[in-house]
Amino acid sequence: MNPAKFIREVRQEVGKVVWPTRKETMVSTTMVLILVVIAAMFFWFIDSIISASVRAILGIGI
């Protein structure tokens, strides 16, 4: 393929892209951060339960 033709086609395709607005980007970023915090808290809670269970089964700890 001709490199110049490739560049023209890439520019045409980039022109078709619908870029998100600043507000859409901020809302999406906020939602991702909130879901990451919720997931972290969930896994911390589950890990604490499993850790306590293993300690109780093995008789380790207080």
How do residues 4-55 score in pLDDT, each as one tens digit? Answer: 999 999 999 999 999 999 999 999 999 999 999 999 999 999 999 999 999 9
Provide the residue count of the chain: 62
Tokens 């045409």 found at? 12
13, 21 Cβ separation under 8 angstroms: no
Every domain of the chain and the residues it spans: 20-62
What's the confidence (pLDDT) of residue 34? Answer: 98
pTM of the model: 0.67
Calpha distance 9→41 (Å, rounded): 46
What's the confidence (pLDDT) of residue 5? Answer: 93
pLDDT at 62 over 70: no
